[in-house]
Amino acid sequence: MSLLIGSTTIGLILALLALGIFISFRIFDFPDITAEGSFTFGAATAASLIVAGVNPLLASFIAFLAGMAAGAVTGIIHTRFKINPLLAGILVMTALYSVNLHVMGKSNMPLLSETTVFTWIENLSLSWSGADARTIILGWEVAVKDLWLLLFCFLVIVGFCILLWWFFKTNIGTAMRATGDNDQMIRALGVNTKLMIIVGVALSNGFIALAGAMLAQYQGFADVQMGIGMMVWGLASVIIGEAIINDNSVGFVILGAVLGSVLFRLLVAIALRWGLNPNDLKIITALFVFIALILPGLLKNKKLSFKRRANA
Amino acid sequence: MLKINHISKTFNPGTVNEVVALQGVSIKIEEGSFVCVLGTNGSGKSTMLNAVAGSFIVDEGIITLDNIDITKWGEHQRAKFIGRVFQNPFSGTAPNMSIQENLALAMKRGKNRGIGWGLPASLIHEFRAMVKPLNMGLEDRLENPIGKLSGGQRQALTLLMATALKPKLLLLDEHTAALDPKTAAKVIDLTQQVIMKDKLTTMMVTHSMQQAVNLGDRIVMMHKGKVAYDFRGEEKKRLKINDLLTLFDELRRKDNIDTAVASMLADNYV
């Protein structure tokens, strides 16, 4: 049970990553691989600021801004210099690897002895229900502390989802969605599509960096390798979300991304518990996304050929 | 008033794909005038329209709209003054967004888009009244994605969107070319109504001589990146399809003579 609670908590933290991927991939149709770098960038920025004694909330916010800056660079490289989105992302991702090493000064930065956002929550739980308090849920004994962390992450995610949903319903947010849908049309209506892409990719990477910052604080360290595979991970979450919630409106897609992230994390946790070799995790994630991408087309063909046979 | 002064444009200069699309086009279009632009394929009629819309920056020449020099302005900046309908019915609307969201985007053409709510209830009411005269039953389907509509419906909506805020200039780029004849006639009817209602200054590129004869108060005929003929007033009214066909033939014959003479000269002297 505590495994499930822990996984759900991480799933909620990574939902921020899924939201970031949703913005770049689904809103802008921009395959933005900067994610792999900005995830670590957020973690590294927050970790080194926290070690330097900065308030962890402020550190997380600065990590968000750092991610936005990285995303803006990708957006500018793509729009200003007409470089293919994938290549623009790869350039920034590669550059960020060095930046991250410089930010942390080493490849791994422990946070276990530092005060993070999650230490606050643990202290809150401590003063509320005492040390090592346990409670029973569905017949399983779990630490109250874990429930507090879960609740905190849940509230944070709900807050960000509402904020994002609201943003994409405003005039500027609607214009952003139109930029991804038909850029020619929205340019003819007076919108600077280049600026929209830059702001959008920046926003996306802000969310991704915040996910990195939160994860680093939750697991107690930042590592220069922690971003690897994160883009596919986020994409998997978004795809699962779309499969569960079959509705294209912004609100539901956002909800889907969060549910997808949690569900995917739970699936992975269960698979690992059943003896899946952790080394195989990335290849399985990649296979999963590959299948999810081609499945709709395959099903359609199947249905068509079935119809043809029925008609013949 | 739109003033196009000696604009030129060459695409891919210095390569094998070099295309001289416009070579010194000058046109003045008075306020409230409705100009039909005709021309052979590759005559530069659509290129001229795109030059005015800002799809690219011209190599030479000046474009002014109401005495504002817009020659170097970007496409989105000019959109403040210019409404556009494209040839492809899919180009003018965002397919995955609802009809009402598309209309709401059009209500902000060229204006600042802040963090105000994108789709206020008061607007939806207005939209219903806007699409009702189309007689397409769209007023009950405002929440449907536009991608589900037919080409004719989308083109009609694009026209509404381009003129929702009165533009200083309306650019129509063969906007009925991709539609079946019946739908095209409907869209042309609507075009005429919209233009008459607000006395819009309009430039319409068309390949249909019927449309050119029936609509507007002026015909500009382009050929090889230049204005070949320009008819207005009584002269335009008297013009028949046959006259236009004769003119086209004349242009073609001139071309043939040019190439024939060139090859003859080449045979004799080279």
Q: How does pLDDT run across A145-175, given as a tens digit for each residue?
A: 888 899 999 999 999 999 999 999 999 999 9
What ipTM is given for this predicted complex?
Answer: 0.87
Long-range contacts from A123-127, C-beta under 8 angstroms, 24+ separation: A124/A148
Give the pLDDT confidence score for residue A248 in this predicted structure: 78
Q: CB B118 to CB A171 under 8 A?
A: yes
Are B138 and B157 within 8 A, CB to CB?
Answer: yes
Instruction: Pull the structure tokens for residue B259.
Output: 């190439």
Q: CB A188 to CB B93 under 8 A?
A: no
Give the tens place of pLDDT for each residue, A112-127. Answer: 888 998 989 888 888 8
**Which of B50, B70, B77, B97 is the best mutation test for A, with the most CBs of A within 10 A?**
B97
More confident residue, A102 or A296: A102
Backbone angles phi, psi at A171, to 5 degrees: -60, -45
Chain B residues with CB-CB distance to A175 below 8 A: 105, 108, 113
Asked if A187 has any chain B CB less than 8 Å from its own CB, the reply is: yes
Band of residue A134 on the pLDDT scale cut at 50, 70, 90: confident
Chain A residues 227-286 with CB within 8 Å of chain B: 248
Give the pLDDT confidence score for residue B204 in this predicted structure: 95
Q: Is the pLDDT of residue A129 over 90?
A: no
Give the pLDDT confidence score for residue A193 in this predicted structure: 94
Give the tens place of pLDDT for each residue, A53-88. Answer: 999 999 999 999 999 999 999 999 999 999 999 999
Interval A88-101 mean pLDDT: 96
Band of residue A18 on the pLDDT scale cut at 50, 70, 90: very high
Give the tens place of pLDDT for each residue, A219-229. Answer: 999 999 999 98
Give the pLDDT confidence score for residue A304 in this predicted structure: 63
Q: Which amino acid is at B60?
A: E
Chain A residues 190-219 with CB within 8 Å of chain B: 190-193
**Å between B82 CA and nearest CA of chain A:** 8
Band of residue A215 on the pLDDT scale cut at 50, 70, 90: very high
Q: CB A188 to CB B101 under 8 A?
A: no
Q: Is the pLDDT of residue A307 over 70?
A: no
Give the pLDDT confidence score for residue A177 in this predicted structure: 94
Backbone angles phi, psi at B207, to 5 degrees: -110, 0
Separation CA A50–CA A62 (nearest Å): 11
Interval A195-216 mean pLDDT: 96
Backbone angles phi, psi at B240, to 5 degrees: -115, 165
Q: CB B76 to CB A190 under 8 A?
A: yes
Asked if B145 has any chain A CB less than 8 Å from its own CB, the reply is: yes
Separation CA A261–CA A263 (nearest Å): 6
DSSP code, position A143: E
Give the pLDDT confidence score for residue B122 in this predicted structure: 87
Asked if B108 has any chain A CB less than 8 Å from its own CB, the reply is: yes
Query: What is the Cα B206 distance to its own chain's centre?
Result: 8
Q: CB B76 to CB A193 under 8 A?
A: yes
Give the pLDDT confidence score for residue A305 in this predicted structure: 66
**Which of A177, A187, A189 is the best mutation test for B, with the most CBs of B within 10 A?**
A189
**Domain locations along chain B:** 2-110+117-239
pLDDT in tens, chain B (270 residues): 899 999 999 999 988 889 889 999 999 999 999 999 998 888 889 999 999 999 999 999 999 999 999 999 999 999 999 999 999 999 999 999 999 999 999 999 988 888 888 888 888 999 998 888 888 888 889 999 999 999 999 999 999 999 999 999 999 999 999 899 999 999 999 999 999 999 999 999 998 888 988 998 999 999 888 898 899 888 888 888 888 888 888 888 887 777 777 777 777 776
Q: CB A175 to CB B108 under 8 A?
A: yes
Chain B residues with CB-CB distance to A186 below 8 A: 94, 105
Interval A244-259 mean pLDDT: 88
| Percentage of chain A modeled with pLDDT above 90 | 66
**b/e burial code for range A279-292 (CB count within 10 A of at least 16 → b):** eeeeeebeebbeeb
Are B33 and B53 within 8 A, CB to CB?
Answer: no
Q: Is the pLDDT of residue A312 over 60?
A: no
Chain A residues 165-184 with CB within 8 Å of chain B: 167, 169-175, 177-178, 181-182, 184
Separation CA B224–CA A290 (nearest Å): 50
Q: Is the pLDDT of residue A311 over 80?
A: no
Give the pLDDT confidence score for residue A4 in this predicted structure: 86
Chain B residues 207-266 with CB within 8 Å of chain A: none
**Å between B236 CA and nearest CA of chain A:** 31
For the sheet containing B19-29, what is the strand order?
Answer: B19-29, B2-11, B60-65, B68-69
- Residue B39's H or E segment, with its range, is strand B34-39
Assign a CATH topology to domain B2-110+117-239.
Rossmann fold (3.40.50)
Q: CB B105 to CB A186 under 8 A?
A: yes
**Burial classification of residue A296, based on how many CB atoms lie within 10 Å of its CB (0-12 exposed, 13-18 middle, 19 or more buried):** exposed
